[in-house]
Structure 1
Amino acid sequence: MKKPLPAAIAGAVLAYCALATPTALAQPEAASAMEEMIITAIREDRKSRGATGLDLSVYETPQSLSIINAQTMQDFGLTNINTLLKMATGVNVDPTETDRTTYSARGFDITSMHIDGVGMPFGNLIVGDIDTVIYENVEIIRGSNGLITGLGNPSGTINYVRKRPTNALASSIKLTGGSWDNQRAEVDVSVPLTESGSWAARAVLAYQDADGWLDHYSNNRQVAYVVVDGQLTDTVTLAAGYTHQDNNSDGVLWGAVPALYNDGTAIDYNVSTSTAMDWTYWDTQSDELFAELGWQISDHWLLTTSARQIDYQDNSEIFYVYANTGVGLDAATGLGLLGYPGKYADERDSLVLDASLSGRFNAWGQQHQLQFGVSSARSESEGLSYAAQSGFDVMPPFPGWNGREVPRPAFAAPIVSAEQDIDLDRIYGSLLLALTDNLNLILGASAVDYTNDGVSYGVPTSASEDGTNPYIGFTWEVLDGLNAYGSYSDIYQPQYVLGEDLNPLGSAEGKSYELGLKKAFANNTLLTLALFRTEQSNLEEFKAYGDGDGIDDTDYSDDFDYSLYRGIDVESEGVEIELAGQITGELRLQAGYTHLSLEDENGDEARTFIPRNTLKLLMTWQPQALPKLAMGLSTRWQDDIYFDSAYGRIQQDNYVVVGGYASYAITEGLSVSLNVDNAFDEEYFSSVKYEQVYYAAPRSVNVSASWAF
């Protein structure tokens, strides 16, 4: 394995201000005036590169785009990305274990996570909680994302927009306490460093310690973020920052809880039931350095560069419970389960460099946009495995465990179980041609060169591929405030998994289409109607765990060395409707409905753990008669989902989860709030993606006090 890329590289690479619009930055004023106006535009008008890489509003973008801002996160207590994305239109959250989660949209896994418009497309599995305290907005771009990632996954992209310094001194403190001994503190301070405000800094800290509704589970999370930005010259801006998140969980699930007895009947157990042993833990730590530089070359052209260096560590001692093959869990005795302990340590160092030139030009009596860029991403990882020397026990009758059935085992010295070096280089570009005042044509392409050099438990996982994603879209303002749009993109998605033959499965490929209407109303309210269709081949689907010998053993000797996948062909189509904005002076609404159809090559239902119909709603009401009072309602509904296991169908019926908040401003800077989630104590499985399940959180109540000064 190559040595990790040094963090000093990230600090030395100058990076971009691409989130500010070129037109906002251009000012024909004297240098002193320009200095203040440029930095104000950068901080107050930060825009991501959306779905096309161009400077387009949500209304102008030919794809579906939802934004959840910091105020909504604060109001509804969306302190981690799982709770936030559960409220995002079209997104399905699958927490298959207490500390591992996958996300999907339009039937497919979301594999691309961006920060400030620059991404690291190296996987779809999130370990631990991602705290939202450092983000100003979270954007969910649904549909093919080849222009901004180079990998045309048809699900979409999640873009986290980091908080930046404000133009005046500002600070706040928030303290929260509530169910399951939840204790949380947040501090946010922004300070101008110069009298003019041309340089400023911001620091955000968060600490949370809480138990869980599941037996034995607890979580401690610490977050620190600091950023400094300012102007080197009248036309050159620089930002640099550091993010640290430490997430420590005890009493964790690896796998989950058996759902069925061997006769196919459902197991009846409490919402708090867990198969975790009390010695288990799963700790993660992420440290990121980033630097951004923007050069306003002229009134209409901006050169941007960025660098991100991420160091990630993952350490765990975990315990897996599974049914004896061919026997299952006996309904009369509760016997038939086996234990499998594990100890793992993983490290991953990643570096992403990106540079782009974007701007506007006039031709044929119209103004057009152009963006051209290059990016290079590197990810180097190593995994250690510690063989357990005990703990492979025949488990006692289930349910009724206390977490002490199997003592912490002794573990052998570690071996290097997996190594993986991924290189992803690409050239990308997009062009918006204003054919008329009301009709825009968007053309784009992304060429990708991908190399994966790796091994897993002695089996090579190496692969080398290249591909190109063409993109075409249009927007047509048929009436004032009414945009018709459409987009098409090829799909090219490398997959970092092994097939059943212990060879790399290879890439998924296909085509993605979207047609829609966007209607803009007063108060920045937007109604979006989207029709979408995707055709995808060789899509990874989990098949089984195995040790590569092809023998399905009946005990722990069938090692869980590999996760084996098969490639399937899937067609997805559906419709999405979203309404977001200030409906009246008192009422703000963000609501969306998604209908989805997913079929395999035989015309049968595919990926049945994904709901076919979902409804999300966030509503805030601030009555004019009581200006110090604000209230909110959150609602999410989904229809039936299921998973067909060897012992029968694991079914989750349709359910609705209702929550809300009420806040009151005691003084101008001091307010108190009450947040309730799952107010009606709905009982439902968190996921049925695999053959094991556990119950999602029951009703919870939290009280907060916030002080802004």
Structure 2
Amino acid sequence: MALPSSRTAPMRPLSLCMPARPSAVTHGVRTLCLAFALAASGAATAQANPPAAATAAYDIPAGALGPALSRFAAQAGVTLSFEPSLTEGRRTGGLRGTHAVGDGFSRLLAGTGLEAVARAGGGYTLRHPAPGVPPPAAPADAQSNLLSEVRVTAQAERSAITEGSGSYASRIVTVGKGEQTLKEIPQSVTVVTRQKMDDQNLHTIDDVLAQTTGITMYDSPMGGRYVYSRGFRVDSYQYDGVNRAFYYPQANSFTSNAATLDRVEVVRGATGLLQGAGSPSATINMVRKRPTADKQLQFSASAGSWNNYRAEVDASGPLNEAGTLRGRVVASGNDRDYFYDTAKSRTGVLYGVLAADIGPQTVLTLGVSHEKLRATPFFQGLPSYSNGADLHLRRSTYLAADWNRWKSAQTSAFAELAHRFDADWSLKVTAGYVREQQDIKYAFPLGAVNPVTLAGNVMYGGLFDFKTDNKTLDLAVDGKFDAFGRRHSVSFGANTGRMFNHSDFSLMQLPGVANNVFAPVSAIAEPSDATFVARRYRGGDTETRITQSGAYGVARLSLSDPLTLVAGARVTRYRASDRDRITGDPATAPYRENGVLTPYGGLIYALTAQWSAYVSYADIFQPQNAMTAAGDMLPPVKGRNYEAGLKGELLDGKVNASLALFRLDQNNRAQEDLVNVCTRSTYCSVSTGKVRSEGLDAEISGEVARGWQVFAGYTFNHFKYLNDTANAGIDFASTYSPKHMVRVWTEYRLPGALNAWTLGGGVNFQTASSRTTGAIKLEQASYAVWSARVAYQINRNWSAALNVNNLFDKTYYQTVGAPAWGNVYGEPRSAMVTLRGTF
């Protein structure tokens, strides 16, 4: 195998230019511009000054020889060529400290019977020593670390797996069916790697998305968080590239522990080819950890502010001598309070997965996981004065009952059969099942506060009990072929999903409960479940079924050396119905769509070996249950995504960079019919609504210089109604998607004798957000939240780190709601200490 050389043509830095004016936005954008410039100039510096002869600091753990050599060569900036059979079954004692390249190779190869020989034309070759020449002796500090020889399977150089890479960049993604480089996807893509999740303590999918370019989080008044991208709510989630339907009757109650994940891939914009029905926002692909070929054991324990305690164990490796059966178990638990009074939660996850080589080219993978949540939550947020003025309540204010409860359990199982016919063609069949149960009972405040009387806020209660079963089946084929003297690739397949939900919920006003928001009392009487049902002003007991199936195909055709055409389409069949569980009557009219075609296409032009330019178009549709005056169902909402941009792979793939301009139109949105007489409903609609979202995404991620990892993203987003009976010409979704957003996080390992220390930090910045209710406008001004980290590598196996979030203790509203509800403070300054062990 051969690692690509670091000697590439000099690149000009990519910069983002904005008018220079003294504002936080300009500062954030300049930070991003600097990161882009550093990456490109770093590439040129590396090319002009090859580091092969210099010494550098390394920290490569003991383990399989092949991956260790590849990692060393990549960090040293040299080319290493060798046959994989040379390293098979061999291990190394690792390498730590400052070494020259030759000395580093000698220490890594000590006791293996191999040597690295410099080639006349540059780079190194791995070989057995010449006859009569003894192999290099193992240094004293390496001999004790050598383990007995075991059989290992070499991992491909270009792998989508981010675990163990130590990088914030990923070359390969799997969200678009099959493995593709980021440059092969003509849309904006972000990958949050395992290393970034560990460095920032991103323990849930909400934590991950809150640190992702172009994504905003909105706290739902009835629990959980909604996710928004480009002004639209995200409703497309995948596990390992397979769609999973989500349905929650009143809020987004989805939770997921990131301990089981290798990475999270986010494709922004319309992704109808991947999902069929959905909003033109983004697709989030959560890629689970898989068993490893080598034995490994990882442990972490954390303690932080507000009694936040967490522990995690992750064990993986072969289960038989031949290594044809591999397993992995991940267990994690978290017990914590919150910065607001009374609330607390306890979560846990147990995940197990087996991978078996049932043939030379066939792997069967079976996995199961169980997640539990037990919490005393605070939903609904805080009110304001009736004139929109801030109440300036303490951030610790808890306007709820001490009997609030949120119990959630999620069990999932999957089976995956992957077969490779030859070097070009592969097949993967995946079946999945998920059962989710939610039991929620809580008190919540509702009502704006009168500035004079200080009255107006009243306590209500909610009772939710629902269960959801999800079944999915996905077949995907990927291949490469030659035609017209060129190399092309194609992906096609089919999938189906069935979701059944039983939901019973009730909302009621709590009788005889006075609420003083300035002196709240959580010890209030708890009504029985029967009282909720008997006195509810809104609710119901319903069963909902959603079935979606489709077939897709996409081809990547090489039209010339620099130009590639990407063209595909999906045909979708969609069914949705719900009925009252007591009476059996339909709760809403059934919805059906047959043969909905969602095309997808793009052109990719390779400007250089590192940079490419692209344009793309994508369609999507979203069913809606609104009815016309004549009683007919409205056609689905249609979305169209136009995008043009640049993508770069710098420093031999260590750094990814992208810049995208996008426009997204959504048509056929339901609007109230103010002209015709409704024949079958109190309200009727016409499908004439149209909105537009447009803007810019820019991102850079990876190792911009030796030991310096960077993730930096900037988003500019403008959106407005183009045609609406009440809102034409004004903005939409202004609460959820600020006009400017910056996400930056960076880590730097100190050089030389201080290389055991790592310093990190970052900022999340966004411009003002607001929400208008009637004549009252609530607004959160622009703000920046800074965070920092310091880590110390105690020895080869153990490390410790201190993370401090909201370093300057900024007070702000994470979510802006209405005068009566929904205003949620962002988390104050917090600290967490983490101890990690790797064996």
3-state SS, counterpart of residue 273 of structure 2: helix
Which residue of structure 2 aligns with residue 308 of structure 1? 432
Quick check: 2:158–2:172 contact (8 Å CA) kept in 1? Answer: no
3-state SS, counterpart of residue 263 of structure 1: coil
1:408 has 2:514 as partner: no
1:592 has 2:720 as partner: no
Note the alpha carbon deviations across 1:158-190, whole angstroms, 9 max, x for none: 111111111111001111011000010000000
Which residue of structure 1 aligns with residue 800 of structure 2? 672
The structural deviation recorded for 1:362 is 0.5
The structural deviation recorded for 1:501 is 12
3-state SS, counterpart of residue 274 of structure 1: coil
**How far apart, CA to CA, are the structure 1 residues paired with 2:832 and 2:226?**
26
Q: Which of 313, 335, 342 is the aligned partner of 1:209?
A: 335
Once the two structures are superposed, the pairs formed by residues 280-295 of structure 1 within 5 Å of their partners are: 280-295=404-419
Which residue of structure 2 aligns with residue 697 of structure 1? 827
Once the two structures are superposed, the pairs formed by residues 233-632 of structure 1 within 5 Å of their partners are: 233-253=359-379, 255-259=380-384, 261-323=385-447, 328-385=448-505, 391-393=510-512, 395-404=514-523, 406-412=524-530, 417-455=541-579, 459-466=587-594, 467-495=596-624, 507-523=636-652, 524-539=654-669, 568-601=689-722, 602-609=728-735, 610-625=737-752, 626-632=754-760
Q: Percent identity?
A: 27
Larger radius of gyration: 2
**How far apart, CA to CA, are the structure 2 residues paired with 1:503 and 1:71?**
52
**How far apart, CA to CA, are the structure 2 residues paired with 1:347 and 1:499?**
32
**How far apart, CA to CA, are the structure 2 residues paired with 1:157 and 1:430?**
17
3-state SS, counterpart of residue 473 of structure 1: strand
The structural deviation recorded for 1:697 is 0.7
The structural deviation recorded for 1:402 is 2.2
The structural deviation recorded for 1:277 is 1.2
Distance 1:236 1:620, change over 3 A: same
Partner AA of 1:576 in structure 2: D
Distance 1:54 1:222, change over 3 A: closer
1:158 has 2:284 as partner: yes
Distance 1:500 1:321, change over 3 A: farther
3-state SS, counterpart of residue 232 of structure 1: strand
The structural deviation recorded for 1:505 is 7.0
**How far apart, CA to CA, are the structure 2 residues paired with 1:567 and 1:315?**
39
Distance 1:541 1:290, change over 3 A: farther
Distance 1:567 1:694, change over 3 A: farther
Note the alpha carbon deviations across 1:345-372, whole angstroms, 9 max, x for none: 1000000100122111111111111111
3-state SS, counterpart of residue 127 of structure 1: coil
Distance 1:704 1:52, change over 3 A: closer
Quick check: 1:360–1:368 contact (8 Å CA) kept in 2? Answer: yes
Which residue of structure 1 aligns with residue 134 of structure 2? none
The structural deviation recorded for 1:65 is 0.9
3-state SS, counterpart of residue 208 of structure 2: helix
Quick check: 1:339–1:393 contact (8 Å CA) kept in 2? Answer: no
Once the two structures are superposed, the pairs formed by residues 679-694 of structure 1 within 5 Å of their partners are: 679-689=807-817, 691-694=821-824
Distance 1:100 1:262, change over 3 A: same
**How far apart, CA to CA, are the structure 1 residues paired with 2:331 and 2:626?**
36
1:172 has 2:298 as partner: yes
Q: Which has the higher helix share?
A: 2
Once the two structures are superposed, the pairs formed by residues 122-133 of structure 1 within 5 Å of their partners are: 122-123=246-247, 126-127=252-253, 129-133=255-259
The structural deviation recorded for 1:421 is 0.6
Partner AA of 1:100 in structure 2: G
The structural deviation recorded for 1:265 is 2.6
The structural deviation recorded for 1:113 is 0.9
1:644 has 2:772 as partner: yes
**How far apart, CA to CA, are the structure 2 residues paired with 1:371 and 1:128?**
30
Partner AA of 2:527 in structure 1: P
Distance 1:153 1:620, change over 3 A: same
Quick check: 2:172–2:182 contact (8 Å CA) kept in 1? Answer: no
TM-score, normalised to structure 1's length?
0.86
Note the alpha carbon deviations across 1:291-314, whole angstroms, 9 max, x for none: 000121233111110011000000
Note the alpha carbon deviations across 1:293-350, whole angstroms, 9 max, x for none: 0121233111110011000000011223222xxxx52112221122221222100000
Note the alpha carbon deviations across 1:29-62, whole angstroms, 9 max, x for none: 9xx99xx898845995559765643532012221
Quick check: 1:337–1:394 contact (8 Å CA) kept in 2? Answer: no
Which residue of structure 1 aligns with residue 116 of structure 2? none
3-state SS, counterpart of residue 575 of structure 2: strand
Note the alpha carbon deviations across 1:553-575, whole angstroms, 9 max, x for none: xxxxxxxxx9x999842101101
Q: Which moved more, 1:456-465 or 1:394-403?
A: 456-465
Q: Which moved more, 1:669-678 or 1:492-501?
A: 492-501
Partner AA of 2:360 in structure 1: D
**How far apart, CA to CA, are the structure 2 residues paired with 1:306 and 1:64?**
26
The structural deviation recorded for 1:510 is 2.5
**How far apart, CA to CA, are the structure 2 residues paired with 1:444 and 1:590?**
31
Note the alpha carbon deviations across 1:428-450, whole angstroms, 9 max, x for none: 11011111121110110001100
**How far apart, CA to CA, are the structure 1 residues paired with 2:559 and 2:152?**
32
The structural deviation recorded for 1:463 is 0.8
The structural deviation recorded for 1:506 is 5.9
Once the two structures are superposed, the pairs formed by residues 61-72 of structure 1 within 5 Å of their partners are: 61-72=185-196
Quick check: 2:152–2:323 contact (8 Å CA) kept in 1? Answer: no
**How far apart, CA to CA, are the structure 1 residues paired with 2:507 and 2:383?**
25
TM-score, normalised to structure 2's length?
0.73
Q: Which of 198, 218, 222 is the aligned partner of 1:94?
A: 218
Quick check: 1:216–1:278 contact (8 Å CA) kept in 2? Answer: yes
Which residue of structure 1 aligns with residue 349 of structure 2? 223
**How far apart, CA to CA, are the structure 1 residues paired with 2:155 and 2:624?**
42
Q: Which moved more, 1:407-416 or 1:328-337?
A: 407-416
Quick check: 1:43–1:165 contact (8 Å CA) kept in 2? Answer: no
The structural deviation recorded for 1:63 is 0.9
**How far apart, CA to CA, are the structure 2 residues paired with 1:631 and 1:99?**
36
Q: Which moved more, 1:332-341 or 1:626-635?
A: 332-341
3-state SS, counterpart of residue 258 of structure 2: coil
Partner AA of 1:110 in structure 2: V
Partner AA of 1:189 in structure 2: A
Distance 1:55 1:184, change over 3 A: closer
Quick check: 1:335–1:395 contact (8 Å CA) kept in 2? Answer: no
**How far apart, CA to CA, are the structure 1 residues paired with 2:696 and 2:237?**
24
3-state SS, counterpart of residue 307 of structure 1: strand
Distance 1:403 1:505, change over 3 A: farther
Note the alpha carbon deviations across 1:67-115, whole angstroms, 9 max, x for none: 1111111111111122221111111111234841111111111111111
Partner AA of 2:372 in structure 1: D
**How far apart, CA to CA, are the structure 2 residues paired with 1:530 and 1:704?**
37
Quick check: 1:121–1:149 contact (8 Å CA) kept in 2? Answer: no
**How far apart, CA to CA, are the structure 2 residues paired with 1:72 and 1:66?**
12
The structural deviation recorded for 1:627 is 1.4
Distance 1:48 1:229, change over 3 A: farther
Which residue of structure 2 aligns with residue 13 of structure 1? none
Q: Which of 293, 298, 307 is the aligned partner of 1:181?
A: 307
